[in-house]
Structure 1
Amino acid sequence: MPSFFRASVDAMTGYVPGEQPKPGTPIIKLNTNENPYPPSPAAIAVLRSLDPEWLRRYPDPYANDFRQATSEALGIPKDWIMVGNGSDDLLNVIVRACAEPGRKVVYPMPTYVLYRTLVEMQVADRVEISYGDRYEFPIDELIAAQGAITFIASPNSPSGHSVALSDLRQLAAQLTGVLVVDEAYVDFAEETALPLVREFENVLILRTLSKGYSLAGLRLGFAIAQPHLLSGLFKIKDSYNIDAIATLVGTAAMRDQNYKNECAEKVKQSRAKLAIDLKQLGWKVWDSQTNFLLTQPQNNAEQIYLALKERGILVRYFKQPGLDDKLRITVGTDEQNQALIETLISDRSYVS
């Protein structure tokens, strides 16, 4: 059968999302890094009182109410903020705007694999630089590659580690292209690269409401950069890429920083306990600045993943070099984490 697609699309594997059981399925879901706590009550109240008129009319194409709330929350000028249909939408815009055949997109691996998918779609030159077993930041190689775009997820997935601000500053100063610091998990971290936006015109910070704000189903994210850098991205984005509901609910969530911070602190405390419990079972656990843990069980990781799935617990298994002996486990509530540990203890083949 003849193909209807470009050769690059035929050659792609495509991004494979984590399993998403139907709502109400009796399962403990620790595989896609959702926040285990509900969204802000203020955000829920907006959704419940939604005026149908917002559905009839086209939305604000720039989501200005959300931009204003974000400006106030983070102390960043409103015109330094661009809103997207999730941060994945903004990643797509960045690649479409800055990458093409003959222009390099650079990032350390392993990291968020959507970067690779987007580069393959654009048929740009891809440069993947290994983190190595200890996840040491390969700054010299990243500088030498001189990408049109350099993606750094910090905190990183699936490792959970953060890149030191000093390293990101050095990288930004020596790159001629755009440095994108993907801070999807920053609400669970101890440090942010946000100060670099004021220092460098080539730095762009990405944030999302999917993790810290418990709004993964809403699809809302934003970029922070100096206006000159954002100007080219605004040319590429869809006309109405943010719907009215997302803008209204997201604005309420952004204005409720206290609630977000309280939930993030609970996740961090649960993360510490879960790490200790897994280590006591003989598992290796990497330090994490996120709402998940990268772990290495003593026995076959894929078999443990499948066995847990049969017991109603989903974790994330990556069948790829360097990760095929590991599991990424989202931090759930204390009750969910305890159920995981008890399940592992109940079958000693999981832990010894």
Structure 2
Amino acid sequence: MSYFRTAVDEMTGYIPGEQPKPGTPITKLNTNENPYPPSPQAIEALRQLDGEWLRRYPDPFAKEFCRAVSEALNVPPDWVIVGNGSDEILNVLIRACAEGGDRKVVYPMPTYVLYQTLAAMQPAAVVEVPYPEDFSLPIKALAEAKGAITFIASPNSPSGHTVALDDLRKLAQQVSGVLVVDEAYVDFAESSALPLVSEFDNVLVLRTLSKGYSLAGLRMGFGIAQPSLLKGLFKIKDSYNIDAIATIVGAAAMRDQAYKNACAEKVKASRAQLTTDLKHLGFTVLDSQANFVLATPPTSPQTNAEQLYLALKARGILVRYFKQPGLEDKLRITIGTDEQNQTLIEALISLLK
């Protein structure tokens, strides 16, 4: 006997990347965390936290954080919805918009696998449209799928590519439902889809503090859309989904754009160097605008991507391996500090010999 809905029994749960215990001597390049610490202003806000904020319920709409987003990104504060990580907003979107076989969830593949997991939980039908080899956006096929929600990750994971603004604009004009542009990695990219929010009432741009702001442990993300779209989402979100600590620390981090941008520039410089080093070892590396690269190791009967992943793990270096079609010959490698990246390269040199 099962106590769960049929959809839950039949689905496969999301499998996060490995998380060793803090203090474990691991070179951790598998879950796209920022290798640099959070803003000193965010740390100071945490130190100065008044216990009274913990005694009382938090602001259900995290208005102080919304004001910080407004100041940083030049959007009205009432165009912001805040979530317990951007994953919560993805969940709210699917619960609010998708259902059964008619109100479908649509996205190009490969991409963030949580889209499929959340759709299965609802449950809602899914249409996965394959990316071509050049990762150009399959606009026609995506629009013809007639999704209640269409997700586009830009920069995309695991490929690291961005989608041109004009392509996203064309898609927004053609989709029949909501277009969600998931910009979790935008702080390491050269462009953003944020201008589309003012042009279309069916576009939501999703951001997180986990990557660019080095606050993956805080669990805070936000979406930007016109109030007419947010109105329905506010009905679905939990009443007090953002705690007082996250609101205060997140707002401080958001207001320190100079620090975030400086760390992002260091990551981008390291990304370029790691890409060069991997290519010198015979890897094929896709151009990336995220804080990771997708790399295909040189062909060898003795060494494939899965074997390299396991051999690196045995040496205390974690990278991400996806055992799924189109990715089984590749490794996704988070950009670490230059020292961490060099540790990886030296291990690869030894293993490839």
TM range (shorter): over 0.9
Determine the structure 1 residue equivalent to 2:297: 297
TM-score by length of 2: 0.98
CA deviations on 1:88-133 (whole Å, 9 max, x unpaired) are 0000000000001121110001100000001011111110000133
Give the Cα–Cα distance (whole angstroms) in 2 for the partners of residues 346 and 321 of structure 1: 28
What pairs with 1:214-233 in structure 2 (closer than 5 Å)?
Answer: 214-233=214-233
Matches within 5 A, 1:116-155: 116-155=116-155
**1:39 corresponds to:** 38
* SS in structure 1 at match of 2:323: coil
Question: Identity over the aligned pairs, expressed in percent?
Answer: 74
- Which consecutive segments of 4 or more residues in structure 1 shift more than 4 A? none
Q: Provide the C-alpha distance between the structure 2 equivalents of 1:82 and 1:348, rounded to a whole number of angstroms.
A: 47
Secondary structure of 1:207's counterpart equals strand
Q: Hey, what does 2:318 align to over in structure 1? A: 314
The Cα shift of 1:172 comes to: 0.2
TM alignment of 1:175-254, pairs within 5 A: 175-254=175-254
Aligned partner letter, 1:300: N
Q: Output the CA distance in 2 between the equivalents of 1:10 and 1:71.
A: 42
Query: Is 1:331 aligned to residue 335 of structure 2?
Result: yes
Q: How far does residue 336 in structure 1 lie from its aligned partner after superposition?
A: 0.3
For structure 1, which runs of at least 5 residues remain unmatched after alignment?
none
- Structure 2 stretches of 5 or more lacking a match? none
| 1:257 paired residue number | 257
> Structure 2 counterpart of 1:348, which letter?
L
Q: Which residue of 2 is the match for residue 73 of structure 1?
A: 72
Q: Distance in 2 between matches of 1:132 and 1:193?
A: 21
Matched residue, 1:89: 88
Structure 1 CA distance for aligned equivalents of residues 236 and 123 of structure 2: 17
Matched residues in 2 for 1:135 and 1:15: separation?
A: 24
Partner AA of 2:93 in structure 1: I
Report Cα offsets for 1:309-351 as digits up to 9, x if no partner.
00010000000010010000000000000110011112334xx
On the 8 A contact 2:27/2:317 being kept in 1, the answer is yes
Who is 1:104 aligned against? Answer: 104
Aligned: 1:287 with 2:291: no
Q: Give the Cα–Cα distance (whole angstroms) in 2 for the partners of residues 89 and 143 of structure 1.
A: 25
1:13 Cα offset (Å): 0.7
> Any idea what SS the aligned residue of 1:32 has?
coil
- Contact kept, 8 Å, 2:160 with 2:293, in 1: the verdict is yes
Q: SS where residue 204 of structure 1 aligns?
A: strand
**Counterparts of 1:324 and 1:133 in 2: how far apart (Å)?**
15
Corresponding residue pairs, total: 348
* CA RMSD across the alignment: 0.7
Paired residue secondary structure (1:150) = strand
Q: Secondary structure at the match of 1:343?
A: helix
Q: Note the C-alpha offset of 1:8.
A: 0.7
Q: Residue in 2 aligned with 1:7? A: 6
1: distance between equivalents of 2:72 and 2:145? Answer: 35
- 8 Å CA contact 2:143–2:176 kept in 1: the answer is no
Q: Which is further off, 260-269 or 48-57? A: 48-57
1:42-88 CA-partner distances (Å, limit 9, x unpaired): 00011112111111111000000000010011000010001000000
Q: Distance in 2 between matches of 1:100 and 1:226?
A: 23
Deviation at 1:135, TM superposition (A): 1.7
Name the aligned partner's letter for residue 20 of structure 2: P
Single out whichever of 297-306 and 150-159 deviates more from structure 2. 297-306
1:316 counterpart SS class: coil
Picking from 327, 332, 348, the partner of 1:344 is 348
Cα distance in 2 between the residues matched to 1:347 and 1:74 = 45
Distance 1:134 1:303 in 2: 27
1:39 Cα offset (Å)? 0.1
Amino acid at match of 2:77: K
TM-superposition CA deviations, 1:117-175 (whole Å, max 9, x none): 01011111110000133322111101111111000000000000000000000000111
